[in-house]
Chain A
Amino acid sequence: MADALHTLSAAELGRRLAAGTLTSRALCEALIARYQAVNDKVGAFTHLDQADVLAQADASDARRKAGQGRGPLEGIPVAIKDNIAVKGQPLTCSSKMLASLVSPYDSHVAERLRAAGAILYGRLNMDEFAMGSSTENSAIRKTFNPWDLARIPGGSSGGSAAALAAGLVPLSLGSDTGGSIRQPASHCGVVGLKPTYGLISRFGLVAFASSLDQIGPMARSIEDCELLLNALASADARDMTCFSPSDRALTPAGDAKKLRIGIPKGFLGKGVAPEVAAAVNAAVEFYRAQGCAISEVELPSADLAVPTYYVVATAEASSNLGRYDGVRYGHRSASAGTPVEMMTASRSEGFGPEVKRRILLGTFVLSAGYADAYYVRALRARAKIRAEYLAALAGVDVLLTPTVTTPAFKVGEKASDPLQLYLEDIFTIPANLAGLPAISVPCGKSGHLPVGFHLVGAPLSEAKLLAAGRLFEAAHGFAHQQAAL
């Protein structure tokens, strides 16, 4: 089949559905067949309720037939990271702690997708509670990079990226606290956008670090990514950090060929693999050739980003994950004892090692006598980083760097070295600390492994990031790429 359905973009599928040459049921059946063929190899999904998917597809087809189609996503499957609540579906966060939890409510984004007519298609694997950069921290299963099954897909939204690269689904949702959308997108050769903090409601996103977390769209093309972003971004009174209707207007994209692009000084030096540097430099030269103004910018506090992040994120996480105690839901230890003993045992048994490591770290940095030295200082560093980024973005439209220093590493390669793993996010973390939108765009290969570049813009400049990505994408062959499986 020259144009097997699983290879098509969401936009193209939408056109066929609209033209009546395709039904959502036929599309979902094809994707379920694809799932049966390759998910065991890739491990992207942790759950797929096929009967539910087909029922949703039939309902979509009926709506369309009745002239009640809900827009460009009508009938299109969107797979969802397993930390975003969908009523009636598991919400495990790939943790033993929540292995049996079924969400009794819809997240805001799930409501938005239903309102857009999309098919809520299955649950995607992730690092436990979104803590990790390889999806190796999942307590449920391993996920492999479709481009090289011996390698990690990145993380924590590894399932979301791998599902796209394996042709399992045309669109997926990830969440990004320090790079969890963009790093796996880079490793799997897909597009991943972390929106401005507050653009998309976090209601129904299981919190890792509340001041950093954002849900974002992932796709195999800029066009699809934008399609999904538009469906997700809307005001929501249930998230007080979500922009109100009057505050959320995106800055117009303008002419992508006139973008001013800043290259942070020294960023291409630090441990960046030569093939990655070459691909990113080629992208810079492409933009220069298109007429963009390229300049070097200074971000003197950039080195503080990773330590700042690991203080702020773990502090918030230690509190956010307090609720998992076996009392109301989730894993409850079988060992008897007082309620407090039961809670302790449930947490000891339910959480994996990386989650425990971060809870301990976060508890420490908030504790009396240490909070000033760690947490309070980290907040000051965060403010400084944000100020520097905003100052830099006053002079340029976007900042361009690699997304990750190296291509995807082998499964198990860094599992014993958490500090090395934490550096995976060195380029992506500042956007979370500063609340800025950022995107990873596929820009080449290191051998057979995808490489992406990373753009950061001012608050609400998503349209500019997408326009810049589109300009590059149109001139290169990386859109719609899928691994051969």
Chain B
Amino acid sequence: MSTPLSDWEVVIGLEVHVQLHTRAKVFASSPWGFGKEPNEQVDPVVLGLPGTLPVVNREAVEKSILFGLVVGASVPEHCSWDRKNYFYPDNPKNYQLTQKDFPVVVGGQVEIELPGASRNVMGEHKFIRIHHAHLEEDVGKLSHAGSGSLVDYNRAGVPLLEIVTEPDLRSSAEAEAFLRSLVAMLTQAGVADCDMEKGQLRCDCNVSVRRRGVEKLGTRTETKNLNSISSVRDTVIYETARQIRELEAGRSITQETRGWNAELARGYVLRDKEDAHDYRYFPDPDIPTLKISRETVTRLSKLVPENLYDRQRRYVEKLGLPYTAAALLVNDRALAEWFELAVAAHPTNPSGIANLVANDLLRDLAASSGSAGAFDESASTPVSLASCPIKPAQLAGLVKLTDDGVISKQQAKEVFAEMFKSGQDAAAIVDAKGLRQNSDTGELEKIVQEVIADPAVAKSIAEYRAGNEKAINALKGPIMKRTQGKANPVLIDQLLRKFLG
């Protein structure tokens, strides 16, 4: 970017619309899901037939409360719904039930982690405040075909939690980090699946810029309906540059609603403030104020999983994991819990376990599910452990065999591959394959001395003694040959140094 960004500060607030993971729609008993024929998932209530009434889906309310608890929000004693009136064919009642004055979640904050200097280094952490989150109904989808228009109401009435941040974000990277963190928290708590390809998470992005040091916020624009994290990032970058360009050219920013064309990587004006809708909000008379009992809150608070970054800190500080492995594991709750079961079975080497999980296990799981490469930190799709042939305690058993010197690290890889194929315990495979290392010091001492005495290696010995450390390796081959590869390599190394010392 040619513009001197450093003179300017960008201020971003997000409104994130998340479809909640529920069986039924938010005000109707009709089920919902992806990939159905158009208008298959409707009923008289969803279609807004005359005389039908909304009934609040308890499950949707509880998922919303659970989100509030996950982000440390206060759960109000009551919440209620309002009607947002506007005419559009995708809106079956021509009003949307939403929560304007008394939302189900108030306050809270989401911890985010910015990218570090390199992949192996943890970046800065920040807290982004949540203003509130309200539970509303999604609308249908209007499409245009030939001279006509088609409308599908399968999506109408799907529970939508709109999470509104304070204007706390200061860069596209922060916006991106916020969304990744939010998605992890939502999915790990079972609140939402956040599958962006299925439109389960959509974002409105408010952007303004101001000169550094200026307190007053600049005029903001709102870019609506961004359906991927990258679109949000690109919108922030685009909109920041555009606004700075306008202001530096002496023009002003118009408060307007904008759209984003991801293919062209360009924003465009949808409507300006003059055309702003008057939604004529008023309390929905069909839904009485809902009381949220403290018993419900207590029950739901037990379902709140350990915070993503609390867990990450615990892994690094208490378990001694490298940052990279910790970051990878905590991103997937099921994987982290799997890892912890393994650690419980063999508590002395969490890093060894993490290493196998993060590398071998994920690689093989990905390969077996045909989605190889889906498991870097940025991937939000959790790996399926349901079909994993290896149990946590079995993996722990493998690490223990290595730690005890029964097999080498190289052999461990081979055993792991076999375990993944057969689901057998590591010990059984080691025995069946006769892989146990020879760690008999007396026997190995004899072999080492025989090899040292062999004139064929005299040159290597001389080089070693002259200070070439690597020359010692030339002696290991013949030893391994004599032991059919079973000699404990650590022990051999020690013995060689002892006798050559």
Contacts and interface: CB of A to CB of B under 8 A. Distances in A.
B30 to A, nearest CB: 13
A50 interface: no
B287 to A, nearest CB: 6
B83 interface: yes
Interface string B115-154: 0000000000000000000000000001000000101000
Interface stretch (A134-142, A293-301, A319-327, A453-461): A319-327
B85 A105 contact: no
A177 B109 CA distance: 46
Q: Which of B87, B142, B149 has the most CB of A within 10 A?
A: B87
Contact of B95 (A98, A206, A241, A322): A322
Nearest to A98: B50
A101 B44 CA distance: 13
A206 B280 contact: no
A98 B48 CA distance: 14
Interface stretch (A8-16, A21-29, A60-68, A367-375): A367-375
Given A206-B51, A239-B53, A240-B54, A340 B88 contact: yes
Contact of A367 (B93, B278, B288): B278
Interface string B275-292: 000101110011110000
Interface in B272-326: 278, 280-282, 285-288
B51 A84 contact: yes
Interface in B10-54: 44, 47-54
Q: Which of A105, A206, A210, A328 has the most CB of B within 10 A?
A: A328
Given A240-B55, A363-B280, A91 B50 contact: yes
Interface stretch (A35-43, A197-205, A412-420): A197-205
A472 to B, nearest CB: 34
Contacts of A315: 282
Given A85-B50, A93-B50, A204-B51, A210 B87 contact: no
Interface string A93-135: 1000010010111010000000000000000000000000000
Interface string B67-102: 000000000000000010101110011110000000
B390 interface: no
A207 B49 CA distance: 11
Contact of A322 (B44, B85, B278): B85
A205 B51 contact: yes
Contacts of A449: none
* SS of B interface (majority): loop
B55 A328 contact: no
Given A323-B50, A323-B94, A366 B87 contact: no
Interface string A348-374: 000000000000000100111001000
Interface string B247-262: 0000000000000000
Contacts of A205: 51
B56 interface: yes
A322 B50 contact: no
A323 B93 contact: yes
A210 B93 CA distance: 14
Given A85-B51, A207-B51, A329-B49, A241 B286 contact: yes
Contacts of A338: 149
Interface in A142-198: none
Given A240-B55, A366-B85, A105 B49 contact: yes
A127 to B, nearest CB: 16
Given A240-B286, A240-B287, A371-B282, A339 B55 contact: no
Contacts of B94: 322-323, 325
Nearest to B279: A368
Contacts of A104: 44, 49
B437 to A, nearest CB: 68
B37 to A, nearest CB: 17
A105 B48 CA distance: 12
B206 to A, nearest CB: 20
Contacts of A203: 51-53
Nearest to B56: A240
A339 B87 CA distance: 10
A343 B93 CA distance: 12
Contacts of A85: 50-51
A476 interface: no
Contacts of B281: 366
Contacts of B44: 104-105
A209 B285 CA distance: 8
A344 B50 CA distance: 19
A207 B87 CA distance: 18
Given A323-B93, A366-B280, A241 B288 contact: yes
A340 B89 CA distance: 7
B296 to A, nearest CB: 17
A93 B94 CA distance: 19
Q: Which of B48, B54, B149, B282 has the most CB of A within 10 A?
A: B282
Given A239-B53, A240-B55, A339 B95 contact: no
Nearest to A362: B280
A238 B95 contact: no
Contacts of A322: 85, 87, 93-95
Nearest to A368: B278
27 contacts: A83-B50, A83-B51, A91-B50, A103-B49, A105-B52, A107-B51, A202-B53, A205-B51, A207-B50, A207-B53, A210-B285, A211-B285, A238-B55, A240-B53, A240-B56, A241-B286, A318-B280, A319-B83, A322-B94, A323-B94, A325-B87, A325-B89, A339-B142, A339-B149, A340-B87, A367-B280, A371-B280
CB-CB nearest 10 A-B residue pairs: A322-B94, A211-B285, A366-B280, A210-B285, A206-B50, A204-B51, A323-B48, A339-B89, A323-B93, A85-B51
Given A316-B282, A328-B47, 6 more contacts: A203-B52, A207-B50, A237-B55, A239-B286, A366-B85, A367-B278
Interface of A: 83-85, 91, 93, 98, 101, 103-105, 107, 202-207, 209-211, 237-241, 315-316, 318-319, 322-325, 327-329, 338-340, 343-344, 363, 366-368, 371, 375
Interface of B: 44, 47-56, 83, 85, 87-89, 92-95, 142, 149, 151, 278, 280-282, 285-288
